């Protein structure tokens, strides 16, 4: 008896089209900050070995790049978790919402210091945030004291302060998509800029305009402030070194006169080769960052797409491992990697929120 293949093919097509959708990905996809990457990879490796779930895939894309990918949509082809070395921006929340990513959970995991590192074989240098602003800003206040700016004329550190070394200004740093770059702009460039009273007054005028709901003036003043305070030189003094902090460490060892902008964890892990520059009199150490004395420290976050919980196996367990005492506690394995832990009360509050999956981004 001969059987026709046509009905069989039709049945197979019907079965394929009628079958319920199944997950095409059985691992957690994490993108974002190169600083948090160093901690996420350690958690992912432990999680993969002990949990019964596959080891998550972690990509270092920079905070801004990671959040852009994270906010592209919901589904298997989009990341589940975004690492960030700064808080998510309102514009990024709007991007998420416009693409159907409605429910995001924000978790503060710890703190990190931003350091200017240099090879141990180089001449030791100590800097203030005002000096760093003068070294790296595209425009600087006129040295004659008038309230206007000029193109940055400083070529060596000694040009800025006669007590500094006669070494060419060269700083390796991250690109605009990096949370480290954002935090450096907030904590160093803005601060140094505002040590000049007439520049600080522009920011104050912008605040007053917002209060009076003169949003056009406020926007104009804010853009002027960002241009004068945050725009970096493009003449080789600031060198975009990408998102690979390990590569920056290698370059520092190759050139002892260059400084590199890094997260504290990379300094901590390479302390046999590089040292941190004192900023405003404080050395970047675990204790100085934890105490708040070191002036350039920032919070570290992870963002979870709640729609993917239950869709991708293991997300809840991965987050629980990340914030566990054995990982994020005072004596946890992440603190041994250089992450500054939260207080016990903060850790307990976050653990409780994660357990009940409470907490959303507020902008």
Please give the CATH number for the structural domain made up of 123-255: 3.40.190
Token pair in block for residue 352: 């409780």
Token pair in block for residue 197: 């009273």
Token pair in block for residue 105: 């959970």
The CA dihedral of 129, 134, 137, 142, to the nearest 10 degrees, is 140
pLDDT digits (tens, 9 = 90+) for 212-226: 889 898 888 889 999
Please tell me the distance from the alpha carbon of residue 208 to that of residue 217, in angstroms, as a whole number: 10
- Residue 361's pLDDT is 52
| Cα–Cα separations (whole angstroms), residue 80 to 29, 30, 47, 73, 338 | 5, 6, 16, 10, 25
pLDDT digits (tens, 9 = 90+) for 247-277: 888 999 999 999 999 989 889 889 999 999 9
Residues of the chain above pLDDT 70, percent: 92
Checking DSSP bridges between strand 149-151 and strand 139-141, what pairing results, if any?
Answer: antiparallel
**DSSP codes of every residue in 203-217:** HHHHHHHHHTT-HHH
Check if the beta carbon of residue 259 is closer than 8 Å to that of residue 77: no
- Residue 356's pLDDT is 78
Question: What is the rounded average pLDDT of the residues 183-206?
Answer: 93
Query: Does 2 score more than 60 pLDDT?
Result: no
Query: Does 11 score more than 70 pLDDT?
Result: no
Q: What are the start and end residues of each CATH 3.40.190.10 domain in the chain?
A: 25-112+299-355
Of the candidates 340, 262, 72, 91, the one whose C-alpha atom is nearest the C-alpha of residue 82 is 72
Contacts 24+ apart (CB under 8 A), 267-270: 267/115, 267/117, 267/338, 268/337, 268/338, 269/38, 269/337, 269/338, 270/117
pLDDT digits (tens, 9 = 90+) for 25-80: 899 999 999 899 999 999 999 999 999 999 999 999 999 999 999 999 999 999 99
Query: Does 14 score more than 80 pLDDT?
Result: no
Note the CATH architecture for domain 25-112+299-355: 3-Layer(aba) Sandwich (3.40)
């Amino acid at each position: 008896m001969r059987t026709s293949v046509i009905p069989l093919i039709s049945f197979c097509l019907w079965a394929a089209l009628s079958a319920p959708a199944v997950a095409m990905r059985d691992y957690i996809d994490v993108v974002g900050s190169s600083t948090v990457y160093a901690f996420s990879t350690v958690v992912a490796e432990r999680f993969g070995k002990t949990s019964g779930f596959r080891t998550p895939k972690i990509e270092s894309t920079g905070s801004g790049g990671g959040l852009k990918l994270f906010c592209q949509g919901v589904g298997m082809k989009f990341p589940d978790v975004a690492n960030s070395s700064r808080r998510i921006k309102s514009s990024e929340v709007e991007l998420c919402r416009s693409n159907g990513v409605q429910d995001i959970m924000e978790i503060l995991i710890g703190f990190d210091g931003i350091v200017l590192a240099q090879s141990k074989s180089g001449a030791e240098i100590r800097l203030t945030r005002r000096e760093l602003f003068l070294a790296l800003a595209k425009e600087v206040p006129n040295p004659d004291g008038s309230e206007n700016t000029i193109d940055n004329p400083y070529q060596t550190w000694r040009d800025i302060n006669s007590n500094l070394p006669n070494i060419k200004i060269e700083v390796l740093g991250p690109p605009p998509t990096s949370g480290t770059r954002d935090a450096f702009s907030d904590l160093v460039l803005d601060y140094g800029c505002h040590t000049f009273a007439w520049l600080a007054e522009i920011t104050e005028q912008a605040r007053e305009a917002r209060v009076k709901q003169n949003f056009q003036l406020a926007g104009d003043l804010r853009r002027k402030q960002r241009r004068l305070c945050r725009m970096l030189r493009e003449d080789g003094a600031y060198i975009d070194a990408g998102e690979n902090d390990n590569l920056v460490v290698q370059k520092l060892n190759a050139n002892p006169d260059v400084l590199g902008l890094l997260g504290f964890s990379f300094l901590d892990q390479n302390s046999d080769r590089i040292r941190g520059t004192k900023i405003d009199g404080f050395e970047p150490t675990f204790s100085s960052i934890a105490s708040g004395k070191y002036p350039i420290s920032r919070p570290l976050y992870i963002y979870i797409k709640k729609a993917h919980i239950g869709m991708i196996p293991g997300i809840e367990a991965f987050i629980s491992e990340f914030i566990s005492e054995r990982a994020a506690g005072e004596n946890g394995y992440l603190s041994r990697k250089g992450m500054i832990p939260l207080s016990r009360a903060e850790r307990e509050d976050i653990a409780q929120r994660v357990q009940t999956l409470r907490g959303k981004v507020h902008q």
